[in-house]
């Protein structure tokens, strides 16, 4: 993937010309004039807005908005198109979290569409002879595949808030899969990074290594198998994936991974059953809510840790006037708040069906205040920081043993949508690792997830309960943080989210504080160089911070750093006066994102 160019913390400037022109999709029903629509990172206009990592996907959402669909309809269409053009990051073989704002009632609701472990799974899912298997062996295996949640999420969202049939919304993606999209540098490089393991599976190699070679930049990539699968879901509904022939094909693929016999690769089989698929449900649930600077910040409750961890960090930062802080002090406080919130995440957050998660207490201001007093302006906390006890807050107190941050695949994707009625969707979806499990369902055109590797393979310590061990039907803890911020009157201010594994939380937190506290325009808050601290001994820095005087200033306090070429890839929408929307996406990361509006502002 492309690396971010060097840039100052202040901004990557976006010209007024780009902002005023905006971006829009081709007329409804018409074939795009350009097979590779131009990516524009910011657009302003009327009638609704879509921001995603991909121009074809954003155009699919705009097409639905033009045809009278609402934000939920457009989000489903955009997600389905991303399953075509970003197949290594998401698809119907994965899951995600859907946050919806209803303008009429001024309320936020969410859907947990996280993948689930098989009903036969237990805490020893990834143990052999009493020891955890190698992470790489778990990733590329049937053992890592959870029951997909994405199709059920789409249908649950449409049943609750949509206005159009799923079949209608799948049409742009079906067309895109059938006719093809233009291969860019990011798609080729992600294929290259997976080439070795893709070749272990003939069906995956046939699809993603056409003619036995990497796809060529500028060529047209087609996926007729996925087009047929989408057409089947359009006819039969998403139940076809959870019951019947397609369900059986998924189960057979997971339990007997179709490995090339000549490869010698041992793809451990899974234990997925037809019962697992038939029993799956996407869950409607209340969002997390945090009050910050007089605004309401809404996000995902567990099984995701995103809402509680971002919310706790914001509460910790509430006492500091970040708008007046120097850049060094701002980053120092942001890093330390992240460190503390991740300490509590590791100890307390898991699937609430199985674990007693004190989400309300984690989000209380009194608990945040008891943790905030650990932060000093002239010193750095030593990681790993021990967790606190949110049920019994005590000033500057920590208790127990710190749990390590489990690895989470970074190639998730995020999309953000608004419509002309003022409804908003913030939706993060994934298949976990770049390329998921590497296993394609034969003849179906989509990769299966490796989401179960988000579980802890073994307890961090025998003395401490780990809330994220596998269990039957359990959802692994996630960091996905799709977020919507409302003003005091219950109207949207901004909505955003990001991919990036555990760094999703820090990306959303840094982008929110950059926009809300530091006064950066949304596209600049998204573009600003990132730091990510997840209760580890060192903090990750992107190159622009690594090579800056800010790093020197932070090191003088005691911070330690390691270089990360790229952290996250956010998108967002911002409500402007008089029915106008601003859509914003990355300027550089992952090759840049795509912001579009229905009618660009003059």
The neighbour count for residue 235, using CB atoms within 10 Å, is 10
The CATH class that applies to domain 16-284+407-600 reads: alpha beta
- Spatial neighbors of 577 by CB under 8 A, at least 6 apart, are none
71 closest CA partner among 108, 118, 114, 22: 108
pLDDT digits (tens, 9 = 90+) for 39-59: 999 999 999 999 999 999 999
Return d(Cα 380, Cα 333) in angstroms, integer. 10
Q: What is the DSSP string of 122-180?
A: -TTTTEETTEEPPHHHHHSSGGGPPBP-HHHHHHHHHHHH--S-HHHHHHHHHHHHHH-
Angle (deg, nearest 10), helices 306-317 and 503-516 = 40
Q: Do residues 192 and 208 touch, judged by C-beta distance below 8 A?
A: no
pLDDT digits (tens, 9 = 90+) for 414-464: 999 999 999 999 999 999 999 999 999 999 999 999 999 999 999 877 778
pLDDT band of residue 465 (cuts 50, 70, 90) is confident
The string over 379-389, giving b where at least 16 C-beta atoms fall within 10 Å of a residue's C-beta and e elsewhere, is: ebbebbbbbbb
C-alpha to C-alpha distances, 192 to 14, 141, 195, 378, 538, nearest whole angstrom: 32, 19, 5, 45, 29
Q: Note the residue count of the chain.
A: 602
pLDDT digits (tens, 9 = 90+) for 491-502: 999 999 999 999
pLDDT at 393 over 80: yes
- Is there a catalytic annotation at residue 412? yes
Strands 95-102, 107-113: pairing is antiparallel
Write down the domain spans for the chain: 16-284+407-600
Mean of pLDDT values over 500-526: 97
φ, ψ of residue 126 to 5 degrees: the values are: -110, 25
The string over 488-516, giving b where at least 16 C-beta atoms fall within 10 Å of a residue's C-beta and e elsewhere, is: eeeebbbbbbbbbbbbbbbbbbbbbbbbb
H runs (alpha helix) in 463-585 = 503-516, 522-527, 543-546, 549-557
pLDDT computed for residue 81 by the predictor: 98
Cα angle value 371/374/378 (rounded, 5°): 145
pLDDT digits (tens, 9 = 90+) for 249-288: 999 999 999 999 999 999 999 999 999 999 999 999 999 9
Average per-residue pLDDT for the chain: 92
Cα angle value 380/381/382 (rounded, 5°): 115
Return d(Cα 205, Cα 186) in angstroms, integer. 18
pLDDT digits (tens, 9 = 90+) for 294-310: 999 999 999 999 999 99
The secondary element (H helix, E strand) that includes residue 64 is: helix 55-66
pLDDT digits (tens, 9 = 90+) for 134-192: 999 999 999 999 999 999 999 999 999 999 999 999 999 999 999 999 999 999 999 99
Q: Which of 85, 116, 405, 412 is catalytic?
A: 412
């Amino acid at each position: 993937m492309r690396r971010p160019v060097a840039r100052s913390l202040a901004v990557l400037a976006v010209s007024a010309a780009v902002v005023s022109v905006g971006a829009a999709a081709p007329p409804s029903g018409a074939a795009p004039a350009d097979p590779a629509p131009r990516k524009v990172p910011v657009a302003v206009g009327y009638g609704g807005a879509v921001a995603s990592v991909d121009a074809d996907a954003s155009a699919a959402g705009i097409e639905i908005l033009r045809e009278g669909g609402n934000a939920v309809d457009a989000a489903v269409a955009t997600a389905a198109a991303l399953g075509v053009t970003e197949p290594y990051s998401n698809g119907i073989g994965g899951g995600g979290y859907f946050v919806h704002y209803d303008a009429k009632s001024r309320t936020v609701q969410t859907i947990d569409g996280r993948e689930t472990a098989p009903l036969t799974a237990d805490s020893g899912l990834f143990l052999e002879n009493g020891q955890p298997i190698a992470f790489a062996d778990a990733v590329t295996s049937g053992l890592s595949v959870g029951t997909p949640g994405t199709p059920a999420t789409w249908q649950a969202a449409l049943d609750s808030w949509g206005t159009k049939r799923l079949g209608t919304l799948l049409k742009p993606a079906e067309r895109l899969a059938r006719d093809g999209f233009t291969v860019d540098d990011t798609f080729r490089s992600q294929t290259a990074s997976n080439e070795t393991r893709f070749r272990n599976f003939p069906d995956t190699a046939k699809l993603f290594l056409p003619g036995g070679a990497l796809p060529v930049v500028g060529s047209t990539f087609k996926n007729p198998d996925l087009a047929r699968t989408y057409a089947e879901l359009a006819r039969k509904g998403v139940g076809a994936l959870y019951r019947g022939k397609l369900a059986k094909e998924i189960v057979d693929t997971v339990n007997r991974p179709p490995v090339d016999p000549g490869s010698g690769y041992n793809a451990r089989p899974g234990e997925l059953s037809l019962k697992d698929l038939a029993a799956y449900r996407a869950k409607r649930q209340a969002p997390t809510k945090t009050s910050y600077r007089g605004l309401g910040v809404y996000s995902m409750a567990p099984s995701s840790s995103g809402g509680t961890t971002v919310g706790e960090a914001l509460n910790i930062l509430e006492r500091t006037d970040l708008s007046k802080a120097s850049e060094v002090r701002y980053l120092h406080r942001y890093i330390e708040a992240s460190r503390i919130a991740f300490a509590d995440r590791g100890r307390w957050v898991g699937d609430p069906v199985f674990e007693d998660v004190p989400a309300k207490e984690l989000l209380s201001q009194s608990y945040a205040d008891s943790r905030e007093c650990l932060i000093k302006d002239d010193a750095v906390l030593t990681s790993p920081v021990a967790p606190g006890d949110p049920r019994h807050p005590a000033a500057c107190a920590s208790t127990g043993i710190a749990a390590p941050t489990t690895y989470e695949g970074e190639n998730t994707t995020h999309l953000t949508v608004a419509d002309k009625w003022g409804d908003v969707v913030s939706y993060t979806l994934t298949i976990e690792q770049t390329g998921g499990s590497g296993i394609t369902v034969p003849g179906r055109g989509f990769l299966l997830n490796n989401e179960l590797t988000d579980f802890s393979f073994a307890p961090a310590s025998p003395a401490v309960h780990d809330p994220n061990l596998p269990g039957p039907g359990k959802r692994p803890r996630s960091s996905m943080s799709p977020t919507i911020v409302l003003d005091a009157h219950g109207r949207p201010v901004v909505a955003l989210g990001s991919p990036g594994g555990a760094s999703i939380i820090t990306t959303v937190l840094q982008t929110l504080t950059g926009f809300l506290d530091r006064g950066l325009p949304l596209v600049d808050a998204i573009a600003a160089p990132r730091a990510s601290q997840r209760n580890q001994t060192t903090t990750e820095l992107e190159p622009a911070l690594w090579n800056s005087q800010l790093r020197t200033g932070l090191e003088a306090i005691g911070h330690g750093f390691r270089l990360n070429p790229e952290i996250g890839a956010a998108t967002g929408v911002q409500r402007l006066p008089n029915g106008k929307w601003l859509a914003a996406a990355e300027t550089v990361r992952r090759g840049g994102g795509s912001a579009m509006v229905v009618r660009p502002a003059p």
